[in-house]
Amino acid sequence: MSDARPLDSVLSNPNRPIAANTSVYILTNNHVANPCPTDWPSVVLRVQFAGEGADFEATRVGADPQSDLAVIRVERLRAVARFLTKPLQFARGVAVGEDVVAIGFALGQEGGPTVTKGIVSAVGRSIEGQHSDLVQMDAAIHHGNSGGPLLNLRGEVVGVNSFGLNDTIYFAISSRVAGRVSSELVSRGVVTRGQLGFRSVLSISDEMVERRGSSQGPALERGVLLVEPTPGGPLALAGLRRCDLLQQVESYQVHNVGELMNALLFLAPGSTVKVQYRRYPPAVCEPPRAGGSLSARLVQLSGPATNHTTSIVLGGVRRTTLPGLR
């Protein structure tokens, strides 16, 4: 729909996405829009807005499995325009202790959308090195809430409801990540990230730092350990080697793999960035003996450690527009 006018919304519907900005585009979780990855081309998506009996067929604009976000598009703009009445505003941030409400369609039960209220427990969370910049809250997120908005009391989107752990801790993708990813998906259909060039990395946790303590040898610090750089990749070309500890990329401090991947979301392929790293003896990254672990070797490391800063040209594919995107 090339002549569609922008219509912003923060409405949730039984298909559980946020009706996102720019006309007919809808932001939701990737696992909602794409529940069966192998059947992506053949599965038909249908969206039903709250209070509306009719279904509307939707098409997929793009998906980003790494952030678990996707954008779909509803073609019949006039038919749904009356539901799109509240401007969508991504909040600049959210504070610990702030009141929030999660909107969704919990458990898929009849009776319309559901709302749960809670407070923000923590921000900037990272889970298993994959999900990063998460908002942790105690507003319950059950099956059916995924992809709905997490709002502050001003009606601004502070996150996209995502998942829970053990039915006690709940997480939303932050508005900062959601805003960046949705903008990329709407304009290009894909998300571009800068690439540093590594095959294996390891987060140095607080526990590992504490275990190291004040024993002999260089102090162990938080960061992302480069276990195996890609030969000929940006890091290797800049002189980094196995066992270097990445601590900052441009203005982004990286304490774990999730934070590193989140930083690369905001850095374009081909750009030159400054990387701060700590160099440890390469021996600590040698494959551990049977029954041993790399983390144990790091706690026992000895030898000199030095701090360095260098410039790196990020790899990755530059993309301009999505072919066929209207």
CA distance 22 to 5: 7
Q: Are residues 233 and 276 in the same domain?
A: yes
CATH number of the domain at 293, please: 2.30.42.10
Looking at 34, 56, 83, which one is the last position of a domain?
A: 83
Question: Of 131 and 200, which is predicted with more confidence?
Answer: 200
pTM for this one? Answer: 0.77
CATH code (residue 121): 2.40.10.10
Domains: count for the chain: 3
Q: Is the pLDDT of residue 310 over 90?
A: yes
The predicted-structure confidence for 173-187, as pLDDT tens digits, reads as follows: 998 899 899 889 988
- In terms of domains, do 29 and 117 share one? no
Residue among 200, 274, 282, 275 nearest 241 (CA) = 282
Comparing 9-13, 45-49, 244-248, 258-262, the range with the smallest average pLDDT is 9-13
Mean pLDDT of 229-240: 94
Tell me, yes or no, whether 298 and 231 share the same domain: yes
Q: Are residues 106 and 211 in the same domain?
A: no
Who wins on pLDDT, 182 or 287? 182
Range of the domain at 70: 18-83
User: Which of 83, 112, 135 is the last residue in one of the domains?
Assistant: 83
Short-list 147, 115, 155, CA closest to 16: 147
- Specify whether 229 is located in the same domain as 150: no
Confidence of residue 216 (pLDDT cuts 50, 70, 90): low
Rounded mean pLDDT, 144-172: 87
Phi-psi region of 144 (alpha: psi -120 to 50; beta: other; left: phi over 0): left
| pLDDT tens readout for residues 105-120 | 777 666 667 888 999 9
| Per-residue pLDDT reduced to its tens digit, 251-264 | 999 988 888 988 99
Query: What pLDDT sits at residue 308?
Result: 93
Choose among 141, 165, 182: nearest CA to 28. 182
Report the mean per-residue pLDDT for the chain.
76
pLDDT average, residue stretch 77-89:
56
Question: What token pair was written down for 254?
Answer: 């990286």
Classify residue 287 by its DSSP letter.
P
Q: Which of 283, 287, 277, 278 is nearest to 303 (CA)?
A: 283
Q: Is 165 in the same domain as 103?
A: yes
Catalytic residue positions, numbered: 31, 68, 146
Are residues 65 and 39 both part of a single domain?
A: yes
